[in-house]
Structure 1
Amino acid sequence: MRSSVEIYTLETGTSRIVWQTEQLVEAPNWSPDGQSLVVNGDGLLYRLALTAREPILIDTGFARQCNNDHGISPDGETIVISDKTEFGKSAIYLLPAEGGAPRLVTRNLPSYWHGWSPDGKTLAYCGIRDQVFDIYTIPVDGGDETRLTFGEGRNDGPDYSPDGKWIYFNSSRAGRMQIWRIRPDGSDVTRITDSEYGDWFPHPSPDGKHLLVLSYDGDVFDHPRDLDVRLRLMNPDGGNARVLFELFGGQGTINVPNWSPDGKEFAFVRYEPVPSEV
């Protein structure tokens, strides 16, 4: 087993296995109808029904180099992907949830999707422009992107609060990577975590009660895979932060929105080390 796709239930504090595979798979999204997960592996997307034993390949057309920054629209009708097949750099595309031809959204590259506004009208993403990592938004129909951060350290991993009033993100602007939030108009930047960890990929729960964060050891740079990490839960304002559990993971564990629609569970991926060659 290389990858174990699992679901954690808040009420019981336990995890259950959905699917295990020798393939490297990443970043589970939970469908709005609560019936399936979407994961990526080897540049492709797969849909894994919670009652099935094996995933089904999603047709992404020409896009065959999808990374782990993908998601599902609030109405469940559209999938967003980040893929580099067409330009050699990650671009954001939309396609029908059942699969089909991708439609380009972002023309400034590279761009890595991370969040979808609750009203379904706007995408939030990390854009790298002249080697500077910042948070941007763009209408789902495309057009001009709106820049929300301006090179205050590395800014990444944006995800909307369920009421649409905040965009949570991780930033190294104060030194170690921590969680912050900002209004969609770029105002009221607020620090959420002040921890000993390197905090990444904040995901607010759909019921507005919790914030889930992936936390590395404090001396780890970036967000690599295959390390001992922990998943932490806290209030939306950062209060009552606690470690839910530790696992072997990192990159691919919870890169994108991963909560169940009712906010009672979340999906994640844990990994087993790659066997060393003799």
Structure 2
Amino acid sequence: MIRKVFYFSALAIAISCSANAQSIGIFEGQGDVGNVKPKGTATYNAQNQQYTLTSSGANVWGTADAFHFLWRKIKGDFILTANVRFLPRKGASEYRKVGVMVRSNLNAGSKHVDVATHGGKLVAMQYRAKENDSTRQVISKVENADVIQLERRGNKYRMWVAKQGNPFTVDSMTTDAVEDEAYVGIFLCAHDAKAVEKAVFSNVRITVPNKLDFKPYTDYIGSNVEILDLATKNRRVIYQYNKSIQAPNWTRDGKKLLYNQDDLLYTYDLATNKPTLLNTGEVKRNNNDHVISFDGKRLAISSFGVRGGPDGGRSIGYVVPITGGEPKRITTVAPSYIHSWSPDDKAIVFMSTRNGNSDIYSVSPDGGTETRLTTDPAYDDGCEYTPDGKYIYFNSVRTGHMQIWRMKPDGSEQTQVTHSEFNDWFPHISPDGKFIVYISFLQNEVGPQDHPFYRHVYLQRMPISGGKPEVIAYLYGGQGTINTPSFSPDGKQVAFVSNTDLLFPLFPIEYQKK
């Protein structure tokens, strides 16, 4: 039996080397930098994928540092992200520091750049441009940040910081201080040589972004399938693949995820952590727009037609049994992208571009007459029924940038829902009908009608009755991250995909051969 090998052999070698270096989670090593007594420690909880550091140390400042560091060697560009929090201790210094860092070496006076949040209010990007030189800093306007990110692109460094739930505030600087290959990791400093502090790091990700000259829809980077706990905002990577996985979609029994990979559809068993190919017959160019019927018995999929065929290789809508089989075509015009079933399973809504206009249509799961629901000349997409069937939510660019809208199932009462600074796509409604989760692209990175791969994005949650949106995840992703209904059946979790050019495994990997 031939089974899928999850990673290239080069990555397998890297994992082996990390294990020999007593790796902790995604990191290769740990140790005290400078004079730290008693010795600092770092532990990893594999179940929730969180790290706990303890450290003394006088400071990360001046011409010499003293702190505990958990690291791995990285070459080139990266994005290092973490949620951080100090564990309470009476008498702790307001200048104690917890953060993320890139460092030339493990000497006390090494060149470095870090993003640190202090025990008081201060949050700053600190840097030492020369060995044993003085430390300088760029102070953020955000205080008490608990989501921090350090990004390096060439010689440009950016500090992204936020209070959990709010968008990032970004500051940048340019320096050639740190070498291309350097130590990247998380750190803790007590700011008191006689004290010991403890901090917890969650949602720690080292992302290697796409190359700047990559070709969209031709060059793909690796994928993390993640599950987010909505109560705690803690994320776990459950599966990794060295190319593109897109659009995880929870089955109605909560036991599996459905996603597309390499133009095919797979189900991923959450109990056994095993993917299984889903039979879609002769339809083998499946894309990331697919949705399960409310009764859980059927699957509506979108698949690109035969190249050079009558549909010009463009996307077509089909219905197939949830267990697999030969799909039945249900849409008449390509391109058509399937998005949602009605709660009574009698209608399917989809986006189709016709006569140069992208609108939302409905059709029976058996095919037949199609009904046009939107007629605005602006781009409309991403349609999804509420669980009670009273509304269809969708995204539209009719205000000038992409926002979330809603309408009645007959297309009436079209009303704008979000009024944000972002381009908001793909609204998904919680099973209890109380919340919307959607993906937001930054306007300075993405045009209003585009939703590309490999960008800085947020997952946001908003009460369906209205109110302030809340950022629930900060990630590098985009196209394919959350195209399909992504809530678990109990509404407590959301599945999505993040991306990185180099995978750092967060769970045990079994390598299989032919």
TM-score range, shorter chain: over 0.9
Tell me, in whole angstroms, the C-alpha distance in 1 between the residues paired with 2:227 and 2:335.
31
RMSD of aligned C-alpha atoms? 1.4
| 1:102 lines up with 2:330 in the alignment | no
More deviation, 150-159/166-175: 150-159
The 3-state SS of whatever aligns with 2:252 is coil
Percent identical among aligned pairs is 47
Q: How many angstroms does 1:36 deviate by?
A: 0.2
Q: How many angstroms does 1:274 deviate by?
A: 6.9
Q: Which has the higher contact order (CA 8 A, sep 6+)?
A: 1
- The residue correspondences of 1:258-277 to structure 2 (distance < 5 A) are 258-273=486-501
Amino acid at match of 2:462: M
Tell me, in whole angstroms, the C-alpha distance in 2 between the residues paired with 1:135 and 1:92.
13
- The residue correspondences of 1:194-205 to structure 2 (distance < 5 A) are 194-205=419-430
Q: Is the 8 A contact 1:78 1:97 kept in 2?
A: yes
Tell me, in whole angstroms, the C-alpha distance in 2 between the residues paired with 1:77 and 1:175.
39
1:250 aligned residue: 478
| 1:224 lines up with 2:449 in the alignment | no
Q: Is the 8 A contact 2:230 2:472 kept in 1?
A: no
Tell me, in whole angstroms, the C-alpha distance in 2 between the residues paired with 1:202 and 1:79.
19
Tell me, in whole angstroms, the C-alpha distance in 1 between the residues paired with 2:392 and 2:335.
20
The 3-state SS of whatever aligns with 1:124 is strand
Tell me, in whole angstroms, the C-alpha distance in 2 between the residues paired with 1:84 and 1:13.
36
Q: How many angstroms does 1:238 deviate by?
A: 3.3
The 3-state SS of whatever aligns with 1:70 is strand
Q: Is the 8 A contact 1:226 1:273 kept in 2?
A: no
Name which one, 1 or 2, has greater alpha-carbon Rg.
2
Q: How many angstroms does 1:141 deviate by?
A: 1.3
Tell me, in whole angstroms, the C-alpha distance in 2 between the residues paired with 1:151 and 1:129.
13
Amino acid at match of 2:240: Q
Q: Is the 8 A contact 2:349 2:384 kept in 1?
A: yes
Runs (5+) with no aligned partner, structure 2: 1-6, 8-221, 504-514
Q: TM-score, normalised by structure 1?
A: 0.96
- The residue correspondences of 1:138-149 to structure 2 (distance < 5 A) are 138-149=363-374
The 3-state SS of whatever aligns with 1:174 is coil
Q: 1:67-126 CA deviation, whole Å, 9 max, x = no partner?
A: 100111111111111012343221110111111001011112210001111111110110
1:33 corresponds, among 240, 245, 253, to 253
| 1:16 lines up with 2:236 in the alignment | yes
2:380 aligned residue: 155
1:210 corresponds, among 397, 417, 435, to 435
Tell me, in whole angstroms, the C-alpha distance in 2 between the residues paired with 1:59 and 1:254.
23
| 1:117 lines up with 2:342 in the alignment | yes
Tell me, in whole angstroms, the C-alpha distance in 2 between the residues paired with 1:160 and 1:216.
23
| 1:48 lines up with 2:268 in the alignment | yes
Runs (5+) with no aligned partner, structure 1: none
Amino acid at match of 2:295: D
How many residues in Structure 1 have an aligned counterpart in Structure 2? Answer: 275
- The residue correspondences of 1:60-209 to structure 2 (distance < 5 A) are 60-86=280-306, 87=311, 88-209=313-434
The 3-state SS of whatever aligns with 2:466 is coil
Amino acid at match of 1:259: F
Q: Is the 8 A contact 2:426 2:439 kept in 1?
A: yes
Q: How many angstroms does 1:162 deviate by?
A: 0.9
Q: TM-score, normalised by structure 2?
A: 0.52
Q: Is the 8 A contact 1:62 1:85 kept in 2?
A: no
